[in-house]
Structure 1
């Protein structure tokens, strides 16, 4: 079981996201108001705070949202979750893991600063099956 550390959004793709503290996950769409939301398999991105801390240990001044993730989590090993795993997020929302990691076609600013980036290897993507409000501090857990 893990918890939500940040709920992040941006109006345009290719930008760092800002923590908005809470938002609405919309079924078959994603995080309301986020540029990456839509009818596809990567509606919402998740990255663990533990992954961000690796980059901080490398000397970068980064935090939640800087890797363009929608939900920053803590206490759950995201990249080890099998595809198809259902996650309950908060009291209502449910998402299904559709992708682990991603291919970076262009190197982001983080890669150029550190020579590495955690999102392509340790970030995951989900499709929202059941919508609901998500807030900082909410529980994230695998649904059986």
Structure 2
């Protein structure tokens, strides 16, 4: 069983790159983070809205592992929420989870993992060179995206710092995470 902890929660009512840390956030079933610009049944990310505003929002909640910040600390200073994530985690390898993993957070919230965040140019605008730092390649030359995962809210609830995270893996065969 995969377990972790919520380190920080963040949201922003505007489409700014970074989000503001909060004491807690409220997840709304089928919508996302209450008061966040990316909440909604249909896609809210501006580039995706331009392509097709009617596509389902598979990016209602963005999670990043705090361990990424540690890996980058010799070149970059990053605080929770600054890369646009809603939930900063610790102790759970988010990137290794398969698609459709259920993340049980706090007393009642459940997020279904939909895929990997695909970092865009805004990450370089935040700190020059950061985009390359959150991308890597495996032994076969396949691109590895390290900028977190995305999910949809299956069950709402309040999420706050210190909440436990328990990952419930889907039935086999597992599907690896792909960009969403």
TM-score > 0.5 by shorter chain: yes
Distance 1:10 1:108, change over 3 A: farther
Give CA-to-partner distance per residue, 1:62-82, whole Å, 9 cap, x none. 210110000000000001110
Give aligned pairs, total.
143
Whether the 8 Å CA contact 1:83–1:100 is kept in 2: the answer is: no
Structure 2: distance between partners of 1:64 and 1:98: 21
Distance 1:128 1:135, change over 3 A: same
1:96 matches 2:112? yes
1:129 matches 2:154? yes
- TM-fit CA distance, 1:105: 5.2
Q: Secondary structure at the match of 2:114?
A: strand
Within 5 Å, which residues of 2 pair with 1:7-46?
A: 7-39=9-41, 40-46=57-63
Larger radius of gyration: 2
Whether the 8 Å CA contact 1:2–1:139 is kept in 2: the answer is: yes
**Could you tell me the TM-score, scaled by structure 1's length?**
0.90
Whether the 8 Å CA contact 1:26–1:130 is kept in 2: the answer is: yes
Give CA-to-partner distance per residue, 1:7-55, whole Å, 9 cap, x none. 1011211321111020110000111101111111100000000011222
Counterpart of 1:80? 96
- TM-fit CA distance, 1:117: 4.5
**Could you tell me the TM-score, scaled by structure 2's length?**
0.73
Whether the 8 Å CA contact 2:10–2:81 is kept in 1: the answer is: yes
Whether the 8 Å CA contact 1:88–1:95 is kept in 2: the answer is: yes
Structure 1: which 4+ aligned runs deviate by more than 6 Å? none
Q: Secondary structure at the match of 1:54?
A: helix
Whether the 8 Å CA contact 1:87–1:94 is kept in 2: the answer is: yes
Q: Secondary structure at the match of 1:116?
A: helix
Deviating more after overlay: 14-23 vs 72-81:
14-23
1:53 matches 2:53? no
